Chains A and B, each alone.
Chain A
Amino acid sequence: GENVEQHPSTLSVQEGDSAVIKCTYSDSASNYFPWYKQELGKRPQLIIDIRSNVGEKKDQRIAVTLNKTAKHFSLHITETQPEDSAVYFCAASRDTNAGKSTFGDGTTLTVKP
C-alpha cells in the first residue's frame, strides 16, 4: 500500500519568514495530493491540493509543488503569521479519491511573533 513520509516533524519560524514542509510517497499510481491544516482540538481542513497533471499550484501565501519523477511534493507558506501555527498534514491517494487518502504524520508549525 501507499506510504507517505513527512518532514520535518516540527518547524519553528519567525513571523514573516517562509516555511517549507516536504512529503514523499511510495505509490506511483497516486495522483491526488491534498494538504490539511489542523489546529489544536479542531478538525483537519483542506488548505490546498494538487493533481498529478500539474507541477505547481498557488493560492495567495500558500503554494504546493509536485515532482512525480521523484515522488515528492512540498508545501510552501510565505510571509508566515502567528495564525499559521498549527499541525499540517500531507496526504496522497489514487484516482483523485480523497476519501481513501494516506496521510503523513504531520508537521507542527510554530510561527513566533
Chain B
Amino acid sequence: DAGVTQSPTHLIKTRGQQVTLRCSPISGHKSVSWYQQVLGQGPQFIFQYYEKEERGRGNFPDRFSARQFPNYSSELNVNALLLGDSALYLCASSLVSVGTQYFGPGTRLLVL
C-alpha cells in the first residue's frame, strides 16, 4: 500500500503570492490533518478534515484555508505569503478521526 503522498516536494514563492499544497491519504483513510513545521520546532496543527468536513482549526490566520475532496484527498491554500510562512508543511492521515495518524513526506515551502 502506498503511504501518504504530498506534492510538490519543494516550492519557492515570493511574498504576496499564493500557494496550493496537495495531499493524498492512505487508501481508506478519511481523516486528513495539516501541520506546519518550522525549522527546529515541532509540527503545529493547522487543520483537520474528516469526511470532507472541517473538524478543527489551529491558531493560524485566515490566509490559510483547506478543503477535502470526495476521494479524501486534500488541499491546503495559503494566500498573501509572508516570509514567516517558510516551513515544512506536513499532511497526516488516519482511518477515522480518532485513529493513529501517518505523516506524508511534506512540502518544503520557501518564501523569498
| CB pair A98 B106 closer than 8 Å | no
A36 to chain B, nearest CB (A): 8
Chain A residues closer than 8 Å to B35, beta-carbon distance: 103
Q: Which of A45, A89, A99, A103 has a CB less than 8 Å from the CB of B97?
A: A99
**Which residue of B is nearest A101, CB measured?**
B45
A residues 21-74 touching B (CB-CB < 8 Å): 34, 36, 42-46, 49
Is A80 positioned at the interface, with any CB of B under 8 Å from its CB?
no
Are the C-beta atoms of A102 and B45 separated by less than 8 Å?
yes
Residue of B with least CB distance to A2: B45
Q: B33 touching A43 by the CB < 8 A rule? A: no
Chain B min CB distance to A94 (Å): 10
Contact assessment for B40 and A105 in the assembled complex, using a CB-CB cutoff below 8 Å = yes
Asked if A43 contacts B31 (CB within 8 A), the reply is no
Query: Is A1 part of the contact surface with B, judged by Cβ < 8 Å?
Result: yes
Query: Within the complex, what minimum Cβ distance (angstroms) separates B24 from chain A?
Result: 14
Chain A interface SS verdict (over half) = mixed
Mark interface residues in B27-67 (1 if CB within 8 Å of A CB, else 0): 00001110100001111110010100001100100000000
Known: A1-B59, A43-B90, A43-B106. A99 touches B101 (CB 8 A): yes
Most A CB within 10 A of own CB, among B40, B45, B99: B45
**Other A-B pairs beyond A99-B101, A100-B48, A100-B56, 16, CB < 8 Å:** A34-B100, A44-B103, A46-B101, A46-B102, A49-B100, A96-B98, A97-B48, A98-B98, A98-B101, A99-B55, A100-B55, A101-B43, A101-B101, A103-B44, A105-B42, A106-B40
Chain B residues in the interface with A (C-beta under 8 A): 31-33, 35, 40-45, 48, 50, 55-56, 59, 90, 92, 94, 97-106
